[in-house]
Structure 1
Amino acid sequence: MKFKLHINQTLSQLLAQEDTDGDKKITIDDKGPKRFLLEDDKGNPMAVEGTYQLSNLLQELALSKKNDTEFAEISLEDITEDPVKRISRKIKDLYWKGLTRTIDAAGVKKILEDDKIENAISYLYVPAGDSFAFDYFKNLETANPTLKVVQLPAVITPEYVLSLNKKPGILALALQTKNNETTGVPFVVPGGRFNEMYGWDSYFITMGLLIDDKTDLALGMAENFKYQIDHYGKILNANRSYYLTRTQPPLYTSLIVDIIQKSNPEKAWIERHLKTAIKEYKTVWMEQGKRLTPTGLNRYKAEGIGLPFEVEEGHFDDILEKYAPKYGLSTREFENKYLEREILDADLDHYFTHDRSMRESGHDTTNRLVGICADLNTVAINSLLYKYETDIAFLIETFFNDQFQYNENMSYSSDYWHKKAAERKEKINELCWNEADGLYLDYNFELKEQHYFEAATTFYPLWAKICTQEQAAILVQKTLPKFKMKGGIAGSTPSSIAAVSEHAPTRQWDYPFGWAPHQILLWKGLLNYNFQDEAQEMIYRWLWLITRNAVDYNGTIPEKFDLSISSHKIFAEYGNVGTEFNYITEEGFGWMNASYQFGLTLLSSDLKEKLSSLTDPDSLF
């Protein structure tokens, strides 16, 4: 059954009747009659009823409006579509496209947008070693009068990066030339105000792209990872000037392995990327005194000077107000003078070393890492690097006859990497495993003791295959229930933040907030150790929460959830990205999209049926 509808007229009538809070969405918060009459192509009246169907009608009208036509043909099937199928279909057919960017003549204007700052001039920074890109982008200045292209120096110091805070901008990514036409290698952004390529987001996004057969986009993500390592020395927190001193959780080898399993690239492609991954491992992670510590394990350790540039004014008031009286200044005056480096304070600089390192970890922010991050051998980073070592060994064994020529002076066997992985595994279990409490904890190498904080990162060793089967059983049977909530696992346990002052900032990576990467790594970890029933339960809980939220809130796919209320309505630092749109989201949120698609590939058929009917997980498990 189809309805031929006058788009503007129907939109106006629908919103006037049903959008009672005026946010250009139809949600369970609206107080309209939740019943709207349409006529089919034969003139027969039919009622569209309930929040879900009405919001679907609104979304289909909004999509039709973009076609610049007066009338739209909308089918009943689109209005009443199974919510699971609809969410998955929109992710595959609409959201990935909405999140795709290029830095080239066609895409530069959109990528230069940065909601976090306001500039009259938009700066585009190009690395010193890419003269072709510099010439290409310089030629774009004529057509873009507010664009200023700047070539970076060969050596980028923290002092230089600090100087860029007066003229922040985007960092160039890879170009490609085909048929004499140069374009940017495409990449996918997280969404909303995160309009750039983020480090660890990109791995999880790529998982979703591969599931949805967006192979070219997945390959583009890998090429842009490689470009960043080759030209900026690291996979960046994100490709903005103020992130030049910061990397992100290392997931490049996982991305390479996933692409190989899905798309079977040529051996030359594997060789290029394997060389770059080894380069990153050696130069970013394994230089003693930087991110490698005397224990033989690693830490996050970002460089940089002063406050992280990207945070909003007032974000650090709880810290700055302790220092301002020392200088006889108000908190705001002190913040400005400290930002401008008119005031130097060694203790505060030390605090921000830890803060930037925490942001490098991807967990920005968590009480687990505040004021201490750079002193910790975290479970997370060492699990990820163990996976690097085992991935590299696997690639050398599988594709290079167990001997990989890294450069003219050095070759590697898989045995070399297996030994490094075995040493790391032994050290992780020695320093980080807490047998009594059944947890993997971060290790403070300065104090030579475990840093007790119950965080979801305790499950990373399941994902990386570091645990014994006995340790895995303890984690699943004893520890998982502490984190499990109706809609998935929280970033920490309630007890881990019980002593935090009620006046302290609400840290978004702690209890009660739930994040897609934690769920994905947990699911993989459970399956690695054959905890099939537990994996099915945890997958269902998360997908139920996404589906329930989308059904009730006009298709909203947010960055994260508050699991204590099973809602996207977040009351924490930074708010929640992916929730601001009119009529229809055309992006969702990157790693949330990926978690939905990945979860559906794992969920049993009977639970998919339960999911479609929105069966409450607490009634099933």
Structure 2
Amino acid sequence: MNTIKFKYILGLFVIVILVACQQEQKPEYLNHAFLLEKLIKQEDTDGDKKITIEDKGPKRFEFVNQKGVSFLIEGTYQLSNLLQELAITGDDESIDIDKITEKPTDRISRLIKTRFWNNLTRSIDKQGLAKVLEDTKSTTDTLRLYIPHRDTAAAKYFNTLTTEFSKLEVVILPEEITPEYVNKINQKPGILNLAHDAIDKEYKGKLFVVPGGRFNEMYGWDSYFESIGLLIDGRADLAMVMADNFAYQIKHYGKILNANRSYYLTRTQPPFFSSLVKEVYLNNPKVSKEWIAENLKMVIQEYETVWMKKGIRLTNTGLNRFYGEGIGMPPETEEGHFDFELKKYAEKHQLSLEEFKEKYRNRDLIDTELDSYFTHDRSMRESGHDTSNRLDGVCANLNTVGLNSLLYKYETDIAYLIKNVFDNAFEVNGTKYESAIWLLKAEERKKMMNVLMWNEEKGSFYDYDFIIQKQVPVVSATNFYPLWAGICSKKQASVLLEGLFENLVQKGGISGTTDITDKNDPNAPQRQWDYPNGWAPHQMLLWKGLMTYGYDNEAQELIYRWLWTITKNAVNYNGTIPEKYDVVDATHKVYAEYGNVGTEFDYITPSGFGWMNASYQLGLSLLPIDLKNKLDQLIDPDEIFTKTNM
């Protein structure tokens, strides 16, 4: 018996050894992990798990594919493509050599369409809960989910999940959400629930797309720009549920939120809901009249209850401002973010910085001047431009060109949809609306913008400070929103075009502002929405704005400059697609304030960045083939375009 057991065990041992030997003898081209390690060891000389132009390897690697065919891969771009493909392809899949040699624009666009959008998609339900509840800005282990007071179906569903998700805490919000309540729960941060469907009587959270990187929440204006890219890529389904989630937020939280986190409950974001509904209508022939009606009702509700509420966001000029309600310091910022400003007040109260912050945070010490500063700061964050010297310390006092352009577009979009979808008759809660009413509102707004914001001498719109009753002569990308909204006369459009190229067009695209850094204080923080940085939403709006007025050639130049910046950085830096760029130096190496989300990853970027992805897809859809070919060759834009306009 012992002999039989010994022989059996010996036989198993021999089998194990034989299998191990076979694995050791397995050809390297069938073992992607082995190839990946070999490639990294040779080419990733700085050890960041990427192959970039900064690595000092030989930049040539012999690669044998699944069929035993040998290829010599050379250069940063193709080597980084090989690295990416090895990282995402299993041993049983063949490496597609065409993906390694793929033209840059085709590769970036393909990955956005087939990989990035899916990786950015979330849902708040059993399937997506763990991912969504993550918050890198929170130090607590508790995963807190806030449910609107009237959403009883959600409360019932998520309470059943608390046994399965041990760290989950379900909190029902009060019927009335006040700034005092929000301040009270700032130490208990969590996610705010979004819309859901009941599919076969099963609760399913409606999908939404997040910006990228550390973000797992749905952001306000990001969602509109992402939806532009989604519609181009045939994902109208995602664009539509983004609108449904906007409607849910208005119904249950009173506004489209800065993002669906508890500490954003007192803030909205730049209004793009009407634009989203209109884009879906124009680009999705399958959209139903009922869907448009439901969402248009909520667009009108948001317009009337959020933006046109006197004394809050509607000012005595008849124009609007951003106004982030709330108490104390915005809690979502990183530790130390406000130290530059708070030091002044600590000295004023003869306290150390840490002592002052603790007392102010707990409201043991109240400083009305500092409270006013934070009202402006929250308003600046509501504007989406967090942060900018243009708005710092003054935002709540401004009728901004950008906001009033967006609300003008609300008024004309609502008129358009009522006329073209509902035969000029639309009813909301017993109130009947015709397109003429909304066109009159738009005309009145345009008139006041021209009176208060248009500067004939400078040939520009400027933000208007209604407290001191003066224009603020700062040149920013938002000054040119009237082009996108269709507010300008032909003459205004012509001089705006000249001013845009003279002041904001840089080598790599449009900068957020001219250089408005405080030159008198070397310690003044650089603001990420200011010069020299450029952002996707500004590019997208101004491209379309210029084309609206017939400036197609100029728009194509700006598209090329921006896409060249994205493409060049992706080619040279392992596919990197971040949230913003320094458009003066045309680089993703931006270190202002929060760094640059989307630059930290291993082997392959999982998702790029939402509105950056969308800007790429929109830009490619508008760029003629000859410029696309030049883009694939990374030809410097200054070699293509004359500088007569710059």
* Same structural fold, with TM-score higher than 0.5 when normalized by the shorter chain: yes
CA distance in 2: counterparts of 1:44 and 1:452, whole angstroms:
64
The residue type paired with residue 11 of structure 1 is L
User: What residue in structure 2 maps to residue 595 of structure 1?
Assistant: 615
The structure-2 alpha-carbon separation of the partners of 1:132 and 1:44, relative to structure 1 and needing over 3 Å to count, comes to: closer
Q: Does 1:18 align with 2:43?
A: yes
8 Å CA contact 1:301–1:353 kept in 2: the answer is yes
CA distance in 2: counterparts of 1:426 and 1:500, whole angstroms:
38
Deviation at 1:615, TM superposition (A): 1.0
User: What residue in structure 2 maps to residue 269 of structure 1?
Assistant: 291
In the TM superposition, what whole-angstrom CA distance separates every residue of 1:130-186 from its partner, at most 9, and x where no partner exists? 111111111111100000000000001111101111110000001111122221100
Q: Secondary structure at the match of 1:73?
A: coil
Higher CA-based Rg: 2
8 Å CA contact 1:229–1:280 kept in 2: the answer is yes
User: What residue in structure 2 maps to residue 205 of structure 1?
Assistant: 226
1:62 to 78, 87, 93: 87
Q: Does 1:343 align with 2:368?
A: no
Q: Does 1:152 align with 2:173?
A: yes
1:610 to 625, 630, 639: 630
CA distance in 2: counterparts of 1:4 and 1:151, whole angstroms:
55
In the TM superposition, what whole-angstrom CA distance separates every residue of 1:73-130 from its partner, at most 9, and x where no partner exists? 1021111101100000000000000000000000000000011112121110000011
User: What residue in structure 1 maps to residue 436 of structure 2?
Assistant: 415
User: What residue in structure 1 maps to residue 77 of structure 2?
Assistant: 52
Q: Secondary structure at the match of 1:220?
A: helix
8 Å CA contact 1:558–1:579 kept in 2: the answer is yes
Deviation at 1:41, TM superposition (A): 5.5
8 Å CA contact 1:116–1:193 kept in 2: the answer is no
Q: Secondary structure at the match of 1:46?
A: strand
Deviation at 1:498, TM superposition (A): 6.0
CA distance in 2: counterparts of 1:361 and 1:105, whole angstroms:
33
Q: Secondary structure at the match of 2:94?
A: strand
8 Å CA contact 2:308–2:314 kept in 1: the answer is yes
CA distance in 2: counterparts of 1:502 and 1:517, whole angstroms:
30
The residue type paired with residue 638 of structure 2 is D
2:249 to 221, 228, 236: 228
Deviation at 1:72, TM superposition (A): 4.0
Deviation at 1:71, TM superposition (A): 4.8
8 Å CA contact 2:517–2:526 kept in 1: the answer is no
8 Å CA contact 1:4–1:74 kept in 2: the answer is no
Which has the larger displacement, 113-122 or 414-423? 113-122
Q: Secondary structure at the match of 1:197?
A: coil
The structure-2 alpha-carbon separation of the partners of 1:116 and 1:500, relative to structure 1 and needing over 3 Å to count, comes to: farther
CA distance in 1: counterparts of 2:117 and 2:97, whole angstroms:
25
CA distance in 1: counterparts of 2:503 and 2:155, whole angstroms:
52
The residue type paired with residue 316 of structure 1 is F
The residue type paired with residue 502 of structure 1 is P
CA distance in 1: counterparts of 2:67 and 2:581, whole angstroms:
44
Deviation at 1:38, TM superposition (A): 1.4
2:279 to 242, 251, 258: 258
CA distance in 2: counterparts of 1:499 and 1:620, whole angstroms:
34
Deviation at 1:497, TM superposition (A): 3.5
The residue type paired with residue 523 of structure 2 is H
CA distance in 2: counterparts of 1:558 and 1:90, whole angstroms:
14
8 Å CA contact 2:65–2:95 kept in 1: the answer is no
Deviation at 1:5, TM superposition (A): 3.8
8 Å CA contact 1:6–1:72 kept in 2: the answer is no
1:482 to 479, 503, 526: 503
CA distance in 2: counterparts of 1:432 and 1:205, whole angstroms:
30
CA distance in 1: counterparts of 2:500 and 2:637, whole angstroms:
20
8 Å CA contact 2:508–2:585 kept in 1: the answer is no
CA distance in 1: counterparts of 2:219 and 2:228, whole angstroms:
14
8 Å CA contact 2:29–2:63 kept in 1: the answer is no
Deviation at 1:502, TM superposition (A): 2.5
CA distance in 1: counterparts of 2:209 and 2:334, whole angstroms:
25
Deviation at 1:40, TM superposition (A): 4.4
The residue type paired with residue 52 of structure 2 is T
CA distance in 2: counterparts of 1:588 and 1:43, whole angstroms:
33
Matched pairs, number: 614
Q: Secondary structure at the match of 1:551?
A: helix
CA distance in 1: counterparts of 2:478 and 2:334, whole angstroms:
27
CA distance in 2: counterparts of 1:148 and 1:342, whole angstroms:
29
Deviation at 1:507, TM superposition (A): 0.4
Deviation at 1:39, TM superposition (A): 2.5
The residue type paired with residue 115 of structure 2 is L
User: What residue in structure 1 maps to residue 261 of structure 2?
Assistant: 240
Deviation at 1:263, TM superposition (A): 1.3
1:582 to 602, 614, 631: 602
1:334 to 333, 356, 359: 356
Q: Does 1:108 align with 2:112?
A: no
Deviation at 1:45, TM superposition (A): 3.7
The residue type paired with residue 192 of structure 1 is G
CA distance in 2: counterparts of 1:500 and 1:159, whole angstroms:
38
Deviation at 1:333, TM superposition (A): 2.1
In the TM superposition, what whole-angstrom CA distance separates every residue of 1:424-470 from its partner, at most 9, and x where no partner exists? 00111111111111211000001011011111111100000000000
The residue type paired with residue 279 of structure 2 is D
User: What residue in structure 1 maps to residue 307 of structure 2?
Assistant: 285
The structure-2 alpha-carbon separation of the partners of 1:292 and 1:71, relative to structure 1 and needing over 3 Å to count, comes to: same
CA distance in 2: counterparts of 1:11 and 1:507, whole angstroms:
39
The residue type paired with residue 329 of structure 1 is L
Q: Secondary structure at the match of 2:303?
A: helix
CA distance in 2: counterparts of 1:517 and 1:478, whole angstroms:
19
Q: Does 1:364 align with 2:389?
A: no
CA distance in 2: counterparts of 1:14 and 1:42, whole angstroms:
19
Structure 1: gaps spanning 5 or more residues: none
CA distance in 2: counterparts of 1:269 and 1:71, whole angstroms:
45
8 Å CA contact 1:222–1:256 kept in 2: the answer is yes
Deviation at 1:348, TM superposition (A): 0.5
The residue type paired with residue 363 of structure 1 is H
Which has the larger displacement, 38-47 or 358-367? 38-47
Q: Secondary structure at the match of 1:74?
A: coil
User: What residue in structure 1 maps to residue 334 of structure 2?
Assistant: 312
Which has the larger displacement, 317-326 or 197-206? 317-326
Deviation at 1:320, TM superposition (A): 0.5
CA distance in 2: counterparts of 1:392 and 1:14, whole angstroms:
56
Structure 2: gaps spanning 5 or more residues: 1-27, 642-646
CA distance in 1: counterparts of 2:485 and 2:411, whole angstroms:
10
The residue type paired with residue 474 of structure 2 is F
1:529 to 549, 569, 583: 549
CA distance in 1: counterparts of 2:347 and 2:539, whole angstroms:
43
2:462 to 441, 459, 467: 441
Q: Secondary structure at the match of 2:557?
A: helix
1:564 to 584, 591, 604: 584
8 Å CA contact 2:313–2:323 kept in 1: the answer is yes
Q: Does 1:550 align with 2:570?
A: yes
8 Å CA contact 2:419–2:425 kept in 1: the answer is yes
Deviation at 1:340, TM superposition (A): 1.7
Q: Name the % identity.
A: 58
The residue type paired with residue 554 of structure 1 is N
2:415 to 393, 400, 409: 393
CA distance in 1: counterparts of 2:64 and 2:428, whole angstroms:
68
CA distance in 1: counterparts of 2:447 and 2:533, whole angstroms:
32
In the TM superposition, what whole-angstrom CA distance separates every residue of 1:25-55 from its partner, at most 9, and x where no partner exists? 1111111111111124565543111110010
The residue type paired with residue 241 of structure 1 is S
Q: Does 1:37 align with 2:62?
A: yes
The residue type paired with residue 395 of structure 2 is C
- After the TM superposition, which residues 426-437 of structure 1 pair with which residues of structure 2 at under 5 Å, given as runs? 426-437=447-458
- TM-score relative to the length of structure 2: 0.93
CA RMSD of aligned residues (A): 1.3
